[in-house]
Chain A
């Protein structure tokens, strides 16, 4: 028969006879605390043994590690401003720098554009260039009248739309791998949709370089300095 312990009043020892805060962890048997003995909503993040650091950008993985959310090189968000130009010669309007897109990596570009109805300008075109090996190569030049990544052509009307481009991997001798589509809508109600011509657009004869791309450049042009706003915002860029 196990020991029975009595208090000073001759009563069997009760939990209430113990001084608060005196039972240490070593007095508990291994695996003695069951799930039912743990109060609801009692376990905090600090009590977990997981490796890594818990934060608002990590989650707890099945191997008990706090790991960063994501992992793919998806770049999006943060576009609360739009780039604009009234240049009547092609120029660099939006650049995505600090990239490392190797030759076999495909990439996608999503571009939104708009033009207001001020002035007489009708054509707004946007083309594309890349920086590779320290040199800029214009793949499809922004050119008036060209079928570029995004184009607006109607006079005295507000226009907006989106262009999407897909660029495949490149290898020496295999350097024409892009396609795309664009939609342009104007306030008069007409909508233009067409397949984008990327390589050879705007008089450019360049193909996609093979070496790693460190920047992607959206080039733009309007046909009137009074064209008002020609806004282009690179809303998302994905590679991988």
Chain B
């Protein structure tokens, strides 16, 4: 089973600390540790040391309601996407590209002057135009309609793979541990279970740069 949550753990745990939390301290799940098991978009595969893989089975995926609300569904993950096993805090960067053009044209000011010769600049208006190239179109299509952020941003996700489905109440508790306000009893953890550079502010799965 694959479980995907919004953001990085708000309590500051890195993947090692979160694994300790889920399996040793809170005893909430049994994570998939088998180094021959790789969860992909298309299903669960066996992987040999050489990297070759064989399809093993289809398995279920649970995506946090927070992510769906923000526009990230199963379609957000491209074909062949690899989730691996155990726990991952993943980030995806996206950058809409802009260029300055003469308003009403697709020409830069230099190109406009080359085509039109002497021009009174006060007659021109410039605008910052979004270049909707195939990379951006492909990325935007991964989101639910009209939800893709239109500025530079980074999407933060936390996912883990378990050996068995987890009950609803356990899922709710894990969701709170990762996405909600910090409710962790930090006296049960060591300092090196935390990573200040993985802390997420909890506002959105994506952060504007």
Chain A residues proximal to chain B, CB less than 8 Å: 49-53, 63-68, 73, 75, 77-101, 116-119, 131, 134-136, 138, 141, 143-144, 202-204, 212-215, 219-221, 223, 225-231, 233-234, 237
Contact = CB atoms under 8 A, between A and B. Distances in A.
Contacts of A95: 90-93
A168 B47 CA distance: 31
Contact of B16 (A65, A228, A237): A228
Interface residues of B, number: 68
Contacts, number: 218
Interface in B171-198: 192-193, 195, 197-198
Nearest to B125: A51
A215 B135 CA distance: 7
A58 to B, nearest CB: 9
B8 interface: yes
Interface stretch (B29-37, B58-66, B162-170): B29-37
Contact of A84 (B33, B50, B88): B88
Nearest to A61: B109
A92 B90 contact: yes
A131 B169 CA distance: 38
Given A91-B85, A212-B135, 9 more contacts: A50-B121, A65-B121, A89-B84, A91-B84, A96-B93, A100-B136, A118-B193, A136-B79, A202-B51
Contact of A144 (B49, B89, B97, B200): B49
A221 B136 contact: no
Given A81-B91, A228-B192, A212 B134 contact: yes
* The 8 nearest A-B residue pairs measured at CB: A91-B84, A87-B84, A78-B209, A228-B16, A136-B80, A100-B133, A214-B135, A88-B35
A98 B51 contact: no
A107 B156 CA distance: 24
B154 interface: yes
